[in-house]
Amino acid sequence: MKKILVAFDGSNSSLKALNEAAEMAAKLGAELSLVYVVNLGDIYYQELLGKPEFTEVLESLKKEGKIFDDFLSESGKKVLATARSCVEGVSVSKEIVKIGHPAEEIINAAKEIGADLIVLGPHSKRRTLLMGSVSKEVVERAPCSVLVVR
């Protein structure tokens, strides 16, 4: 096993997955890569609800001439910086920010880096009683082995 990809969204579930993956990478001498996916569904949901904070952010970005995707990517990079700081002593080879459907983009990131293993938590920030739909879809469609950490 040479390349491990961890899906990280800042949830407790993803933090547990990150710690497990970092330990595995250290023991196996594997590369550790991180992926954060900005879920467009959540963003469009906010826009449709007309949340004042969301509208203010959009207007501010327009005034500054910034692209919304760049704003989202920067936010994702901050989340991954937090993840990196949680695994001191383990080298992170790649930090990937994707925008789209989480399961699909996690799978795409795994293909892009040639991952041997994807590690993720059973729940995203939207916690459900059973294994989350993202982790379930990744398990079913991934091009490599998947470890779901509880």
In the chain, the number of structural domains is 1
Is 55 inside any structural domain? no
Axis-axis angle for helices 40-49, 52-64 (nearest 10): 110
Is 43 inside any structural domain? no
Cα separation, 7 vs 107, in Å, equals: 10
Give residue-wise pLDDT tens across range 42-93. Answer: 555 455 455 566 667 667 766 776 666 777 788 899 999 999 999 988 899 9
User: Rounded to the nearest 10 degrees, how much is the dihedral formed by the CA atoms of 58, 59, 65, 71?
Assistant: -20
Instruction: Give strand pairing partners of 3.
Output: 31
- The parent domain of residue 87 ranges over 3-37+77-148
Is 131 inside any structural domain? yes
Is 49 inside any structural domain? no
Is 54 inside any structural domain? no
The predicted model scores a pTM of 0.82
CATH number at residue 7: 3.40.50.620
Of residues 43 and 117, which shows the higher confidence score?
A: 117
Is 120 inside any structural domain? yes
By the 8 A CB rule, do 35 and 134 touch? Answer: no
Task: Inform me whether the pLDDT recorded for 108 exceeds 90.
Answer: yes
Looking at residue 41, its pLDDT comes to: 61
Is 71 inside any structural domain? no
Is 29 inside any structural domain? yes
